[in-house]
Amino acid sequence: MNRQNLKARLDAEFPGLVEMPPEFRGETTLVVGNAGRLPEVLRFLERECAFDYLIDISGVDHMNETPRFELVYELYSYGASQHLRAKARVPEESAEVPSACDIWPTANWHEREIFDMMGIRFAGHPDLRRILMWDGYPHHPLRKDFPLEGLPCETPDGHFTQAAPMDGGPFVTRPAELAHQREPRSKSPL
């Protein structure tokens, strides 16, 4: 299915909901205007357009923008050997979107990871628990306002975390003429 064809079918099914930015490096992206209706669009893509494989779901934190979060669904069609990306912005104050678990069962763990790391909730998820950090951990570590070294915490089950000593880090490499000048160094001017 080519781009124009796909866009026409989506416009007929969801008038005014889905935008299609210009093709970039052979990749097609859809931007869904309303994250609450994302699963409808995804279900349509799965049922009617044969995107039978959900490769990945990513969460993006656009700090200091509104809406703050963004979800990125990477789809693939085995029959047509085509990739497709669908994006939707999620506002911070109502960071909850409908789950895609009943469309692709593999969405289960992807959504748990996004819930764990970003704090976006998925309505209708069968088992929305943390997947990397333990249950009861109070933070969402991949949010931009979470410090890299972590925050000290203690939970009643005995788990704890401490802030890691950064010692002037994080250490980054900078472009330079000589190899020894490209060694990782502290970001702060010393």
Partner 1 sequence: MGTGEYSYNSKVEGNVVLTQLDSAIAWIRKNSLWPMPMGLACCAIEMMAAACSRFDIARFGAEVMRFSPRQADLLIVSGTVTYKMALAVKRIYDQMPSPKWVIAMGACASTGGMYRSYAVLQGIDRLLPVDVYISGCPPRPEALLDGLMKLQSKIERTASTRGIFRAAPA
| Binding site residues, partner 1, CB under 8 A | 132-134, 139, 141, 146-151, 158-167, 169-170
Q: Quick one: 105 or 150, whose CB is closer to partner 1?
A: 150
Residue 94 to residues 19, 22, 34, 131, 132, Cα–Cα distance (Å): 22, 29, 12, 22, 23
> How far is 189 from 172, CA to CA, in rounded Å?
12
Q: How far is the CB of 149 from partner 1 (least distance, A)?
A: 6
Q: How far is the CB of 101 from partner 1 (least distance, A)?
A: 24
Nearer residue to partner 1 within complex by CB, 94 or 162 = 162
Distance in Å, CB of 163 to partner 1, minimum: 8
Rounded least distance, CB 61 to partner 1, Å: 15
Peptide bond just before 67 cis, omega within 30 deg: yes
> Closer CB to partner 1, residue 3 or residue 159?
159
- In the bound state with partner 1, the residue whose beta carbon lies nearer, of 152 and 189, is 152
Kindly state the smallest distance separating residue 55's Cβ from partner 1, in Å.
Answer: 25
Cβ neighbours for 11, distance < 8 A, ≥ 6 positions apart: 18
The residue among 14 and 146 lying less far from partner 1, judged by its C-beta, is 146
What residue type is 73 in one-letter code? Y
Q: Order the strands of the 82-90 sheet from edge to edge.
A: 18-19, 29-32, 82-90, 69-77, 53-61
Nearest Cα to Cα of residue 58 among 38, 88, 81, 30? 88
Q: What's the CA gap between 152 and 155, in Å, rounded?
A: 10
For residues 132 and 25, give the distance between their C-alpha atoms in angstroms, rounded to a whole number.
33
